[in-house]
Structure 1
């Protein structure tokens, strides 16, 4: 008998203890299959073998009715007794090799993996698929650590692209993070996760069918987006010249629509970023409360996350705001202030990148260096002192921002004497600006706010938004520094806000000093 052909897209793992009390386990299984579940694993840790077999027979009747394979968790005896389509084992259960001997070659065999080494061993031992986890915190297990999307991708990278080994992600997978996990699984290795395994998100849901429909839809969107990234066709890429031509109408539109940006920012610059946003033509709301993040996500047009002054409540608000912005398809701009200065800041940066999809990352060389390390890019390391970078910077900054952008499926803007922006395909250097900008507190944070305002009215091209956001404030800096009433950084600060408001849209085309950089 040939081995079953399996679609791993939406993989239900049952748990009687978490099953919604409004229905039986059998009803949960059937409703979830009607909603799109493509594979079912029966997991019953508390039942003895006889009772497990009886339950498995009933569940198998349901899955066979819809031609969906059934796997048995950690009990080869039960799998053989009911002639299930396969089994799943953990690292502490029977070995993959022994399980294969007992099951035979016509059954599906999966194994849990949490490290690259375990993934490589599963491949060598003849597994058909691996369950990669734990991705996020979950009610079903208490993991020592969670992988996050970045960790999932690290494991995928050790599996040869040509390998037939399938992969599913498990652990805290819900409809609001599925798309992000799948998109971020794609990397230079060319693989994308083949499915998501879900427990609580389906069995505990009030309606298992609707929950399954939502999860499958998010998986398919994420898979399609990831495929386009791999193919280099994420979106129709306009030439940089055409992007520049769009800046005057972008600024005019911004001032006409005055998009609302949710700032979770640091206390040091909150007033400055609000004033810069207003001067540009946007509208700021400074709201560092996690309780209202969901409500705000429905009315704001973009979100800025700034970790300059770290408190636990600020971080929780950032996580909630970012997640809800993802659900509402509102752009998230992340300013990892001082990311490499302390362990807390580095860990917070990692947590934010793992908790949501960030559309635009804006940072100095030291901060981008830290992010490059976190996401696994092999680049030079730039030290930091407080929020400032040390040293002369990267030897090839354009290559660094392009590498991080390509890896994170986002736009990366690195500020400095020369600013660099890349979406992984297009990369530019912006040579506008004035040295006074670096001598006042908050100028970089104001740029993040400016980028967010442009991103709000440029939803289909965050690259254009990032370049426009930097350029607008750099031009204002040049104009302010030339004023007769500016004598130094103190007088420059007030003039800077004035000149942001005085910026004429056409100046963003006629005065721009932007160089396109061609990289391999």
Structure 2
């Protein structure tokens, strides 16, 4: 089975052409603008460069596409595709044969083939092509000698094969709606993107139009990502978080930072996830379904914390900023320690700055602030101390107070109390995880921080 890009990733296939190069913008910058605007795939097309120069150009463009996790396809040159380890190559009917390309590049590389008839399409699929480019559909300056393919033929090709079909040639914002009933996976364009004065804006508008034309705009529930440890007993951690997200009618996703052997009596063992695999999980999610909110729970060692912080920084640099609800899990309800001593400094110096709100319980607030808490006045003092190094909202949970169970929401010198009578219920395993996740659910729906906390507390109280 040859490697495939998911069908949706062909939606807006940007093909470069130096004919449209701007004098005040490098090709690399043009490609980056297109990606930032929403291009889902990039093809480097160089008809007049030597192989050496083509390789140099491809390496430069690939640095851009790799930084955004966008596949790079090389046009008509298997040698260059192999030299730069591109995601794939696109070949025409008169170029290198499909069999030659596959033999040279191997089964893991994407190969697209240009076709104009149903017979060519079927032959290409049987030969192992991963997708097909069909066109030109409309008149185009980039393919002056190519006979146009009718929309009927395009539809017949899409119906005849099981691999994605991409329409090529003369497609733009004005005529893309004409392809709405053809069954294609996406469109491939040059001038509609790179001929625009504002490449990013033009790409964004075209992507929206393409999705509408191809019926790719669907209504999905908002999504919440939990980054936390697994609790085999199901009462806390990832399991509690996903149950909470589902109960709020939202779509839950997870990145597992550790496997724990625990129950309501205590934590017996912890197996930490390698930081590199934590990042693999995060990238898999953010390259496909960007969440509306992130809850972070158990992050047991400094390496994992550092990795998560660096990746959040990368996402923000690329324009993806998601509210983060950080539950600084240091001690389990049973009293078991879940955060190593050397991880605390990294948590405070690197991860806290990404949080919209943090939700420590009293023992955790004591660790963060260095202040012993035995009263509501102490809670305020601890919040003021935490505010010295963290500038978001601070929710200190009062469940460990001897009198009452009031929670404090503190932000920029303002204190808001959520008064709560102590409930007579010994089944409190996982309540902290549930509360922070419920806050994330509310924030994902654009609720204010105080309202989100209030709704989340009502949810947990009802559950207890």
Q: Tell me the TM-score range normalised by the shorter chain.
A: 0.3 to 0.5
Normalised by the length of structure 2, the TM-score is: 0.45
Task: Give TM-score scaled by structure 1 length.
Answer: 0.40
- Compare the two structures and name the one with the higher helix fraction: 1
Higher strand share: 2
